[in-house]
Chain A
Amino acid sequence: MMLKAEDLNVYYGPIHAVKGVSFEVREGEIVTLIGANGAGKSTTLKTLSGLMRSRGGKIEFMDKSIASTAPHKIVELGLAQVPEGRRIFTRMTVEENLDMGAFIKKNANVEADKERVFEQFPRLKERRKQIAGTLSGGEQQMLAMGRALMSDPKLLMLDEPSMGLAPILVEQVFDIISELHKAGTTILLVEQNAEMALSIADRAYVMETGRITLSGTGKELAASEEVQKAYLGG
C-alpha cells in the first residue's frame, strides 16, 4: 500500500472540516477525490502533506506513519503536492522555481532533472529566465507541476489542477497527468471537474461536507446515478 489514511478528523478552530475520512492509494494507481467546493478535499491533501494535522486517526505512507512528521520531511519521503491555486514563487524565475522543487536533493546536479521537466513542458524552457508571476495561468500550472516533479515523487498529489483554466488547457493538463502516470508516478488527484477526473482515474472517492460518501472504480462512479445527478449534470 502506498498511502493509507484512516479516520482523519481535521478542524479549523471550531469547524469540523474533515470527518472520519479513510481511503487508500495503491502503487501505480490514479486515485481521484471529487466533490463540491468546501467538501474538505483540499484540507485532506493539506493534512497528508503535514500542513494541517488530524486529531487522531492514522496516515501511513509506504508503511511508515507520517501523521506527525514535519512537512519538509514528508516531501523527502517522496510525497509531493501541487497545491491549490498553484502557489508558485511569483517573484522568482521559472528556473529558480524548479530549483526550489529540487530543494531536497541538496547539492546534487539537478540539470538533468530540469531537462526532463523541460521536455515535458517545452513552454517552461522558453521562459526559463522569466519571472514566474508574469506567466499565464496555464503556464503557471505547468510550472507548479514541473516544480513538484523535480523532487522525483513516488506519489504526486494534485489539488484542482484544472481550476481557472480554459477547456483546451484543462485537456492538456489531464493529458500530462496521464503521461506522468504511464511513466510510473502514482497520482492522487483532487478535482471539482468530476467528468475529467473520473475519465482517467483507476479509483475514485466522492467527498461531501467532510465525509466520503461513495467510492469505486472511475467507471463505476462515472456510471452511478448519484454521481451523474450531483456532479456530471446528467
Chain B
Amino acid sequence: MKFLAYLVSGISLGSIYAIIALGYTMVYGIAKMLNFAHGDVIMVGGYISYIAASNLGLPPLISVLLAMAVCTVLGITIEALAYRPLRSAPKLAVLITAIGVSYFLQNSALLIFGANPKAYSPVVSGTLQLFGGQLSVSYVSLLTVACCIVIMVGLTLFTGRTRMGKAMRACSEDKGAAQLMGINVNRTISLTFAIGSALAAVAGALLCSFSPTLMPTTGSMPGIKAFTAAVFGGIGSIPGAFLGGILLGVIESLAKAYISTQLSNSIVFAVLIVILLVRPAGLLGKHTQEKV
C-alpha cells in the first residue's frame, strides 16, 4: 500500500513535469530552440495566481485563469522581443538569450516580490481516503492528473484536427514550405509560445499547491526537470513529453522513497543518461536528418 502511495505521488508530480515539458517540446518542435526561460514563466504564473488569490481575494479558478492570461502575454512578448530578432542567428546566440531571459525574470521577481518565500494556499485542499484510510490521495494530486490528461487530449486534438494545429506541424517540419502554403510562420511561433506559457501558468499553480513555498527561483528546478522529461520522451513529441514527465515523476518519487532523498535528483538524471545512451532521440523521438 505504501508503494501505491509513492506511485500516486510520483504520477501526480510527473503530471506537473509533463505539463511543463509540453511547453518545452512544442517550442522546440516549432522554433527549434530551447526556451530556458520557460521554467521562470511557471514562477511568474505562481506569483500572479498567489497575488490574485491572497491579496485580491479572487477564487482559485479565476486566479489561475488570470495567471494564464498574464503568462500568455508574457510568453508572446518574450518571443517577439528576445527571440524573433534572432531567428536567423546561430543557435548558441538564441540559447544564451534564453538563459538571459531566465535570469531577467528571476531578478525582476526578486525586485518586485522580494526574496522571502510566500506561503501559497493550494487551489484545492483536502484528501480522498481510499481502502478504508490506508491510501490517502490529496485532491490536488487528482486535480493535477486530471489537468494533465485534459491538456494532453486537448493538444493532441488541436494539432491533429484543427487548421492552426496542422499549420504548427507543417512549420515544425519545414518552415519554407509552410510559408509557400500561405502560413504566417511568425504568428504560428507566437501561438506556440502563447500555448506553452498558458500551460506554464497552470503548472505554476499546481506546483505551488504541492509544495506551497513560492520564491523567485521556484521555477528553476522543475523547469530543468521538465526539460529533462521532454528530452527523455523525445523532444518535439507531444506524447513523448507526457510519457517522459510521468516516468520522471515516478522515478523521482520511488528513488526518494526507497533509495535516498538526497540522491533522488542524481538518480533521475542518471536514468536519463542511460536512456539517452540506448535511445539518443528519446523514448518516442524520431531521428531526423538535418536538411542541407
Q: B149-189 CB contact bits vs A (8 Å, 1 = yes)?
A: 00000000000000100110110011011111111110000
Quote the shortest CB–CB distance from A69 to chain B (angstroms): 12
Residues of B within 8 A of A49 (CB): 179-180
Given contacts A92-B166, A96-B166, A107-B163, whether A101 and B173 have CB atoms under 8 Å apart is no
Most A Cβ at <10 Å: residue of B163, B167, B169, B177:
B177
Quote the shortest CB–CB distance from B176 to chain A (angstroms): 6
B182 near A89 with CB under 8 A, answer no
B183 near A100 with CB under 8 A, answer yes
- 21 A-B residue pairs with CB within 8 Å: A49-B179, A50-B179, A51-B176, A51-B179, A71-B180, A75-B182, A80-B180, A81-B180, A83-B176, A89-B170, A92-B166, A96-B166, A96-B169, A99-B163, A99-B166, A101-B181, A103-B167, A103-B183, A104-B181, A106-B163, A148-B180
A87 at the B interface (CB under 8 A)? yes
A91 at the B interface (CB under 8 A)? yes
A123 at the B interface (CB under 8 A)? no
List the 10 shortest-distance A-B pairs measured between CB atoms, nearest first.
Answer: A75-B182, A104-B182, A87-B177, A71-B179, A72-B184, A100-B181, A72-B182, A103-B181, A103-B182, A100-B170
A147 at the B interface (CB under 8 A)? yes
Q: A43-83 CB contact bits vs B (8 Å, 1 = yes)?
A: 00000011100000000000000000011100110001101
Residues of B within 8 A of A92 (CB): 166, 169-170, 173
Residues of B within 8 A of A72 (CB): 179, 181-185
B184 near A70 with CB under 8 A, answer yes
Residues of A within 8 A of B184 (CB): 70, 72
Q: How far is the CA of A101 from the CA of B179 in the complex (A)?
A: 10
Quote the shortest CB–CB distance from A11 to chain B (angstroms): 14
A185 at the B interface (CB under 8 A)? no
How many residues in B have their beta carbons less than 8 Å from beta carbons of A? 17
A100 near B178 with CB under 8 A, answer yes
Closest to A70 in B: B184
Q: How far is the CA of A106 from the CA of B164 in the complex (A)?
A: 10
The DSSP consensus for interface residues of chain B is helix
A87 near B176 with CB under 8 A, answer yes
Q: How far is the CA of A93 from the CA of B153 in the complex (A)?
A: 20
Q: How far is the CA of A76 from the CA of B180 in the complex (A)?
A: 10
A140 at the B interface (CB under 8 A)? no
Closest to B164 in A: A103
B169 near A91 with CB under 8 A, answer yes
How many residues in A have their beta carbons less than 8 Å from beta carbons of B? 28
Q: How far is the CA of A49 from the CA of B176 in the complex (A)?
A: 10
If A71-B180, A72-B184, A151-B181 are given as contacts, then 7 extra A-B residue pairs at C-beta distance below 8 Å, sorted by A number, are A72-B182, A83-B176, A87-B180, A96-B169, A100-B181, A103-B182, A151-B182
Quote the shortest CB–CB distance from B247 to chain A (angstroms): 24
Quote the shortest CB–CB distance from A61 to chain B (angstroms): 14
A87 near B166 with CB under 8 A, answer no
B166 near A76 with CB under 8 A, answer no
Residues of B within 8 A of A103 (CB): 163, 167, 181-183
Most B Cβ at <10 Å: residue of A88, A100, A147:
A100
A83 near B183 with CB under 8 A, answer no
Q: How far is the CA of A179 from the CA of B185 in the complex (A)?
A: 33
Closest to A86 in B: B177
A100 near B174 with CB under 8 A, answer no
B181 near A75 with CB under 8 A, answer yes
Residues of A within 8 A of B167 (CB): 100, 103
Residues of B within 8 A of A148 (CB): 180
Q: How far is the CA of A172 from the CA of B10 in the complex (A)?
A: 59
Quote the shortest CB–CB distance from A210 to chain B (angstroms): 21
A90 at the B interface (CB under 8 A)? yes
Residues of A within 8 A of B179 (CB): 49-51, 71-72, 75
Residues of A within 8 A of B170 (CB): 89, 92, 100
Q: How far is the CA of A151 from the CA of B181 in the complex (A)?
A: 8
Q: How far is the CA of A28 from the CA of B185 in the complex (A)?
A: 31
Contact of A83 among B166, B173, B177 (CB under 8 A): B177
Residues of A within 8 A of B185 (CB): 72
Closest to A82 in B: B180
Residues of B within 8 A of A147 (CB): 181
Residues of A within 8 A of B173 (CB): 89-92
Residues of A within 8 A of B182 (CB): 72, 75-76, 103-104, 151
Q: How far is the CA of A100 from the CA of B174 in the complex (A)?
A: 12
Quote the shortest CB–CB distance from A189 to chain B (angstroms): 16
Residues of B within 8 A of A71 (CB): 179-180
Closest to B185 in A: A72
Closest to A75 in B: B182
Q: How far is the CA of A151 from the CA of B179 in the complex (A)?
A: 13
